[in-house]
Amino acid sequence: MNANGKQPLFSIRVDSCYSWIAPLAAEMGELTFPRRADRMGARITGRGERPMWKSLALIFVSVLIGVFGQLSLKTGMTQVGRIDAAALAHPLPLLLRIFTTPIILAGIALYIIGTLIWLVVLSRLDLSFAYPLVATTYVFTPLLAHLLLKEPIPAMRWVGIALILIGVYIVARA
């Protein structure tokens, strides 16, 4: 029973990091919030704790699969050709050309695989922690586009890539 003598609808347990919500919790009943370690990839399971490095490795794999998906899509669209107003006026032949290009289908398949891996990551980590690490795609995509597709990268873009890496490092350390 709460302070008003009513039976709570649900239970709430408040850990110390959520102590600010204690007055509200007392009014509502009991509420269980996950411990910080649980939200940061060390979620307790029946088999013990899951190390954080496994979740970070999954993010890295998901990112790389996404990067190779982008490279595949770009290569395929280079084969399909530029999409202009004339091509958009007849969308059916355009869509047929796009969806019968094997490298484009491979890129789409890579995105599906990357998304499935990302869902595993989301089941283990806070979105506010994991998602900023996806910004490494902005590092790997231009780097591999430069190496594999021979795309030029101007100096200011390299500066931007360096700033992204600094931001990812800060988020990973927080």
Considering all CA atoms of the chain, what is the largest pairwise distance in Å, rounded to the nearest integer?
A: 72
**Which residues are registered as beta bridge partners of 49?**
44
Crossing angle for the helix pair 91-99 and 102-124, nearest 10 degrees? 70
What pLDDT is recorded for position 173?
81
pLDDT higher than threshold 50 for residue 120? yes
pLDDT higher than threshold 60 for residue 24? no
pLDDT category of residue 171 using cuts at 50, 70 and 90: confident
Lowest-confidence pick of 1-5, 30-34, 121-125, 155-159:
30-34
Torsion (CA) 149, 137, 88, 94 in degrees, nearest 10: 60
What pLDDT is recorded for position 33?
42
What pLDDT is recorded for position 32?
43
Lowest-confidence pick of 24-33, 49-58, 131-140:
24-33
What pLDDT is recorded for position 31?
41
| Cα 2 to Cα 73: distance, rounded to the nearest angstrom | 58
Q: Which helix (H) or strand (E) is 45 found in, with range?
A: strand 44-45
Give percent above pLDDT 90 in the chain.
55
User: What are the backbone dihedrals phi and psi of residue 81, each rounded to the nearest 5 degrees, phi first?
Assistant: 110, 170
Q: What's the pTM value of the predicted model, to 2 decimals?
A: 0.67
Average pLDDT value over all residues in the chain: 80
Rg of the chain in Å (alpha carbons)? 23
Assign 3-class secondary structure to 7-32. Answer: CCCCECCCCHHHHHHHHHHHHHCECC
Using DSSP bridges, classify how beta strands 48-49 and 44-45 pair: parallel, antiparallel or unpaired.
antiparallel
Model pLDDT for residues 72-117, shown as the tens digit of each residue: 999 999 999 999 998 899 999 999 999 999 999 999 999 999 999 9
What pLDDT is recorded for position 78?
95
Model pLDDT for residues 42-55, shown as the tens digit of each residue: 443 334 445 688 88
User: 5-26 as b/e, with b when 16 or more CB fall inside 10 Å?
Assistant: eeeeeeebebeeebeeeeeebe
pLDDT category of residue 30 using cuts at 50, 70 and 90: very low
Closest-CA residue to 172 (of 141, 121, 131): 131
